[in-house]
Structure 1
Amino acid sequence: MRRPVESAQYTSGQYARFARDHGVRLSVGRKGQCWDNAVAESFFATIKTELLDRQSWPTKALAHKAIFEYVEGWYNTRRRHSSLGYLSPAAYEATQETATERAVA
């Protein structure tokens, strides 16, 4: 039986060996599984739509500052996410910490 050729960089043997040799644990699932990247893909689509595509960015520094302010000032603290039960990431983390504290006590 012929072994299938892996053409995608993120699933290549060379890439996996490089990551392993440098102490990086890959989060890639099996071929054809898109779920492990769904949240990240949603985030990048959202930041493009809500921030990046709304104006031009004359310098990398201005874009970097705007992205930081968007993520820390809005996305993580106030924007609700369906994958988190319609809580913001900060609120979700707080509920998880509280649940963990109760479980330990």
Structure 2
Amino acid sequence: MPSGRPPTAPTPCSTRTRTTPSSATGTWPTRPATLVRTCASGPRGACAHRTAGGPRSGRSAARTPKLPGPPVHDDLVERDFTAEAPNRLWLADITAHRTGEGKLYLCAIKDVFSNRIVGYSISDRMKSRLAVDALSSAVARRGDVAGCILHTDRGSQFRSRKHVRALHRHGMVGSMGKVGAAGDNAAMESFFALLQKNVLDRRTWTTRQELRIAIVTWIERTYHRRRRQEALGRLTPIEYETIMTTPAAHAA
């Protein structure tokens, strides 16, 4: 039978508990099962308050992963990772590894002529600045790079306005592979696979700084000067560049 009392208006924001007895024992739980919230200002999702453990107001609990955006450059490489001279074709990519302080990100740039890492940047944040700093490092090391192609994936760091402006400033040409096609940058992935095997996965890293030092040491001391590569005629990247860029080599 309906009650004669009018319904009470909800308070601006109030929270009450709802409990239910156990169906098996008929006893009441010691802890409230749910929290029920009423808000006069609008729907529950618009309320500035939230129950413990629930998602923030106005946001979905589950997020859909972002897909790579449209390319800002055409694919000028088409998986032909060869070059007849230095500074004709560079590859760039970003990798991350976890430490006790959080993730550390590395953006590296490789010259396919000698497989040398001509520039890199390491940071605790994966922003456009990471890619721009790596490019600046490579240009500072190599000098005149006008006309050089830089091939990357479609990551937001490489599609950023800052990175595109940096390419134009140095007279370079951008190139981008297809979405989800790892083979479009396979030559760069092979370098990261070596880095992961020889450095990243060798031990647990407590701080970002100790991992940063280990990465730089391996690149400059081992990869460049000690590790001989079959593709370079059993020479290291430094040896190959030294031999192939001398006047005698050009004359031959």
Compute the TM-score of the two structures, normalised by the length of structure 1. 0.69
Partner Cα distance (1:54, 1:17) in 2:
33
Is 1:26 the counterpart of 2:169? The answer is no
Q: Is residue 8 from structure 1 mapped to residue 68 from structure 2 by the alignment?
A: yes
- Aligned counterparts of 1:46 and 1:72: Cα–Cα separation in 2: 14
| Aligned residues of 1:16 and 1:26 also touching (Cα < 8 A) | no
Q: Give the Cα–Cα distance (whole angstroms) in 2 for the partners of residues 17 and 87 of structure 1.
A: 36
Normalized per residue, the structure richer in strand is 2
Aligned to 2:193: 45
Aligned to 2:55: none
Normalising by structure 2, report the TM-score: 0.32
Distance (whole Å) between structure 1 residues aligned to residue 214 and residue 207 of structure 2: 11
Task: State the partner residue of 2:206.
Answer: 58
Give the corresponding residue for 1:72: 220
- Deviations, residues 72-95 of structure 1 (Å, cap 9, x unaligned): 111100111233232111111111
Cα distance 1:67–1:16, how it changes in 2: closer, same or farther (>3 A)? closer
- State whether residues 77 and 90 of structure 1, in contact with CA within 8 Å, keep that contact through their aligned partners in structure 2: yes
Change (3 A) 1:17 1:75: closer
Higher RCO structure, 1 or 2 (CA under 8 Å, sep 6+): 2
Deviations 1:1-58 (A, max 9, x none): xxxxxx634x5249658343x13232335x46835x2221111000101111010111
Question: Residue 33 and residue 63 in structure 1: after superposition, are their counterparts in 2 closer, same or farther (change >3 A)?
Answer: closer
Q: Which residue of structure 1 aligns with residue 243 of structure 2? A: 95
Aligned to 1:86: 234
1:91 aligned partner, one-letter code: E
* Number of aligned residues: 92
Question: For the Cα contact (< 8 Å) 2:228–2:236, is it kept in 1?
Answer: yes
CA contact (8 A) 2:71 2:176 kept: no
Q: 1:95 to 1:52 in 2, by over 3 A?
A: same
Largest Rg, 1 or 2: 2
Give the secondary-structure state (helix, strand or coil) at the position aligned to 1:77.
coil
Instruction: Kindly report the root-mean-square deviation, in angstroms, between the aligned alpha carbons of the 2 structures.
Output: 2.6
Is the CA contact (8 Å cut-off) linking 1:80 and 1:86 kept in structure 2?
A: yes
Higher helix share: 1
Where in structure 1 do 4 or more consecutive aligned residues deviate above 6 Å?
none
SS in 2 for 1:12: coil
**Contact preservation (8 Å) 2:229, 2:236:** yes
